[in-house]
């Protein structure tokens, strides 16, 4: 059987799906106090999760959006904690600004050092990232330990990221790591509670990249 | 400053975090009617999303777990719709059975054909997948169009997958595509409603791989 010849065209077009999805989100989100600048991030997080509770749990440092746009427009590095976040980021959108994506967790040097120090690779990966990506965007979608280490390094005077997108998910330390992030006076996007994850971190990075494209 | 020398050991160990997380899930999940065989999948989905509502929306074909374990133990292909799903699957766990992961969406032939036919790449990718992965596991974490195409091909008599893990997420067609999947008499794992996504699909595949490891 040749499936190619039996094609019945679908009426659903990806752009139309996205547009209609955003309309539904606008209709259903109800009251909120996000600014016009913050709302596109909330909207894209809800789009990627179909979860309004998660979307409305987002919290922004006042400078977060501008700092994120600036980091992208000036071609800064984007550092992630896991490959799922790295591959979800729309490369076409950020490459034209000169941005590159790095997850150091599989870096040979990092693997070696983690083994030698007997700590998780996500911790050592953050230590390498912070030295190599001053002013960049750190997008954490999985590991509370990565975010906690990043916070610790910043408190100790490490070179500052431009924006921290912190969405560890889970039952142990995730909520706490995000609460710690909210205490920092450094641009961040995060959320209250246990939910989060790589799709959320990806949605936030991609939403900011779209804004960077549109800003003069 | 040398961050390496300033290390304060964290007390959190990844295995302990996972164990404690599973305990919390057991404590908080409340009543449900999942079998002992299905529950580890539900548990891992909740672990990866911190979302009990999502976990409890899971639906299983009666043969799903056994079919999934069989597909892994016999080294069948795992076909995904997007790279985020592919990279989230624990390769070490499945490679020892001879399983390989394929997402045809970036396949040159697929890209070319999608352009020629003016349809989405995810549709053409499923057509290629179904021909090349009989008896394999199809893990869909994103595109309703991919799942709908897969269902259409199966109804037309295409070679049958061993298991379909269907978790499209979103506001347009996602729910409907999963309802269609539930009507098929073929092993599936899916959920009711809009939620889903690549982390959920990944959690389900990894949970089954762990079960395959443990089964004689």
Q: Which of A113, A119, A116 has its CA nearest to residue A131?
A: A113
User: Which residues of chain A fall short of a pLDDT of 50?
Assistant: 1-11
**Residues whose CB falls within 8 Å of the CB of residue A21, separated by 6 or more in sequence, listed in order:** A47, B170, B171, B172
Domain B58-214: give its CATH code.
3.40.50.10230
CA A92 to CA A97: how far, in whole Å? Answer: 10
| Separation in Å, CA of A216 to nearest CA in chain B | 31
| pLDDT reading at B92 higher than 90 | yes
| pLDDT reading at B12 higher than 90 | no
Are B161 and B137 in contact by the 8 Å Cβ rule? The answer is yes
Searching chain B, which residue's CA lies closest to the CA of residue A19? B172
- Give the DSSP H/E element, type plus range, for residue A163: strand A163-166
CA B122 to CA B144: how far, in whole Å? Answer: 9
Classify the phi-psi angles of B192: left when phi > 0, otherwise alpha if psi is within -120 to 50, otherwise beta. beta
What is the per-residue pLDDT for B215? 84
> Is residue B70 annotated as part of the catalytic site, yes or no?
no
Q: Which of A137, A143, A131 has its CA nearest to residue A41?
A: A137
**pLDDT bracket for residue B111 (50, 70, 90):** very high
| pLDDT reading at B6 higher than 60 | no
Please indicate whether, in this complex, the C-beta atoms of B10 and A113 are within 8 angstroms of each other. no
- Give the DSSP H/E element, type plus range, for residue A80: strand A78-80
The residues spanned by each domain of chain A are: 35-214
Coil, strand or helix: which one is B11? Answer: coil
What's the DSSP call for residue A104?
Answer: G
What pLDDT, in 10s, does the model give residues A1-26? 444 444 444 445 667 888 999 999 99
CA B29 to CA B36: how far, in whole Å? Answer: 14
HEC per residue, B17-31: HHHHHHHHHHHHCCC
Locate B78 and state its tokens.
Answer: 């795992």
**Residues whose CB falls within 8 Å of the CB of residue B44, separated by 6 or more in sequence, listed in order:** B203, B204, B206, B207
Are B168 and B151 in contact by the 8 Å Cβ rule? The answer is no
Please indicate whether, in this complex, the C-beta atoms of B20 and A171 are within 8 angstroms of each other. yes
What pLDDT, in 10s, does the model give residues B119-134? 889 999 999 999 999 9
| Separation in Å, CA of B179 to nearest CA in chain A | 16
| Beta-bridge partner residues of A80 | A139
What's the DSSP call for residue A137?
Answer: E
> What are φ and ψ of residue B121, in 5° steps?
-60, -30
Q: Write down the CATH superfamily of domain A35-214.
A: Cobalamin biosynthesis CobH/CbiC, precorrin-8X methylmutase (3.40.50.10230)
Searching chain B, which residue's CA lies closest to the CA of residue A122? B14
């Amino acid at each position: 059987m040749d499936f190619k010849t039996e094609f019945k065209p679908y009426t659903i077009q990806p752009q139309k799906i996205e547009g209609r999805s955003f309309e539904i989100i606008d209709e259903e989100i109800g009251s909120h106090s996000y600014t016009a600048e913050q709302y596109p991030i909330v909207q894209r997080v809800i789009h990627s999760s179909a979860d309004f509770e998660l979307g409305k749990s987002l919290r922004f440092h006042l400078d977060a959006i501008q700092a994120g746009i600036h980091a992208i427009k000036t071609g800064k590095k984007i550092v992630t904690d896991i490959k799922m976040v790295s591959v979800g980021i729309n490369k076409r959108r950020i490459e034209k600004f000169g941005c590159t994506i790095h997850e150091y967790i599989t870096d040979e040097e990092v693997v070696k050092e983690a083994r030698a120090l007997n700590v998780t690779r996500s911790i050592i990966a953050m230590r390498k990232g912070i030295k190599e990506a001053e002013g960049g965007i750190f997008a954490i979608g999985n590991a509370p330990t990565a975010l906690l280490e990043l916070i610790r390094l910043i408190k100790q005077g490490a070179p500052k990221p431009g924006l921290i997108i912190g969405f560890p998910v889970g039952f142990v330390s995730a909520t706490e790591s995000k609460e710690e992030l909210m205490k920092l006076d450094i641009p961040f996007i995060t959320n209250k509670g246990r939910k989060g994850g790589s799709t959320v971190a990806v949605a936030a990075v991609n939403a900011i990249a779209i804004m960077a494209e549109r800003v003069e």
